[in-house]
Amino acid sequence: MTEELAQHKSRFSIITPVFNPSREAFEECVKSVLTQTYANWQWCLVDDHSSHGWVQRRLSDLQALDPRIRVHFREVNGGIVAASNDALSLAYGEFVALLDHDDALHPEALEKVHEVLLESDDIDYVYTDEDKVGPDGMFYDRFNKPKWSPERFLAQNYCSHLSVIRKRLVDEVGRFRDGFDGSQDYDLFLRITEKARKIAHIPEVLYHWRAASGSTAHAQSEKPYAYAAAVRAVNAALERREISATVSMTEPWPYQRVLRSLAYEPKISIIIPTCGTYKTIFGVETCLVINSVESILTRSAYKNFDVLVVIDDSTPPGVWDDLRAIADTRLQLLRYDKPFNFASKCNLGAVMSTGEYLLMLNDDTEITDERWLHTLAGYLEEQDVAMVGPMLLLEDGRIQSAGHANNPSPHNFRTGVSANLPGEFGVLSIARECSGITGACALIRKSVYKEVGGMSPMFPRAFNDVDLGFKILQAGYRIIWTPHTRVYHFETASRPKGVEQEEVELLLERWQSKFNADEYCRLE
Partner 1 sequence: MSLDPRAHGISLPSTPSERKIRDLSPSVEAELRLQLMQLRDHAIGTTAQVGELRARLQEKEVELQEKEVELQEKEVELEKKNARISRLRKNLDQQEVRLRASLTWRIGNFFMLPIRILRRLLRGS
Residue 517 binds to partner 1 (criterion: CB under 8 A): no
Q: Which residues contact 508 (CB under 8 A, 6 or more apart)?
A: 515
Q: Report, in Å, the least distance between residue 466 CB and partner 1.
A: 12
Q: Report, in Å, the least distance between residue 316 CB and partner 1.
A: 16
One-letter identity of residue 172: E
Q: Report, in Å, the least distance between residue 201 CB and partner 1.
A: 21
Residue 454 binds to partner 1 (criterion: CB under 8 A): yes
* Closer residue to partner 1 in complex, CB, 184/456: 456
Site for partner 1 in 223-262 (CB under 8 A): none
d(CA 17, CA 361): 52
CB 406 within 8 A of CB 515: yes
Beta strands in 211-304 (DSSP E): 245-249, 256-260, 268-274, 278-281, 284-287
Residue 341 binds to partner 1 (criterion: CB under 8 A): no
Residue 213 binds to partner 1 (criterion: CB under 8 A): no
**Where does this chain touch partner 1 (CB under 8 A) — which range of 62-70, 203-211, 220-228, 446-454?**
446-454
Q: How far is CA 501 from CA 114, 440, 461, 507, in A?
A: 46, 22, 11, 10
Residue 350 binds to partner 1 (criterion: CB under 8 A): yes
**Where does this chain touch partner 1 (CB under 8 A) — which range of 35-43, 61-69, 213-221, 348-356?**
348-356
Residue 444 binds to partner 1 (criterion: CB under 8 A): no
Residue 345 binds to partner 1 (criterion: CB under 8 A): no
Q: Which residues contact 61 (CB under 8 A, 6 or more apart)?
A: none
**Where does this chain touch partner 1 (CB under 8 A) — which range of 2-10, 328-336, 367-375, 492-500?**
328-336
Figure out which of the listed residues 228, 236, 334, 523 binds partner 1, where binding follows CB under 8 A: 334
**Where does this chain touch partner 1 (CB under 8 A) — which range of 104-112, 211-219, 330-338, 366-374?**
330-338
Beta strands in 194-301 (DSSP E): 198-210, 245-249, 256-260, 268-274, 278-281, 284-287
> Quick one: which of 401, 49, 406, 382 has its CA closest to 242?
382
* Closer residue to partner 1 in complex, CB, 89/354: 354
Residue 329 binds to partner 1 (criterion: CB under 8 A): yes
Site size for partner 1, by CB under 8 A?
Answer: 38
Q: Bridge partners of 489?
A: 365
Figure out which of the listed residues 27, 54, 335, 397 binds partner 1, where binding follows CB under 8 A: 335
Q: Report, in Å, the least distance between residue 464 CB and partner 1.
A: 10
Figure out which of the listed residues 43, 305, 511, 520 binds partner 1, where binding follows CB under 8 A: 511
Q: Which residues contact 419 (CB under 8 A, 6 or more apart)?
A: 391, 393, 397, 398, 399, 428, 483, 486
> Quick one: which of 518, 378, 519 has its CA closest to 443?
378
Q: Bridge partners of 71?
A: 45
Q: Report, in Å, the least distance between residue 353 CB and partner 1.
A: 7
d(CA 421, CA 413): 14
Site for partner 1 in 295-324 (CB under 8 A): 308, 323-324
d(CA 415, CA 400): 5
* Closer residue to partner 1 in complex, CB, 291/344: 344
Q: Radius of gyration (Cα) for the chain, nearest Å?
A: 26
Strand 123-133 vs strand 198-210: parallel, antiparallel, or unpaired? parallel
Residues lying near partner 1 in the complex (CB under 8 A) are found at: 308, 323-324, 327-329, 331-335, 344, 347-348, 350-354, 446, 450-458, 467, 470-471, 474, 509-513
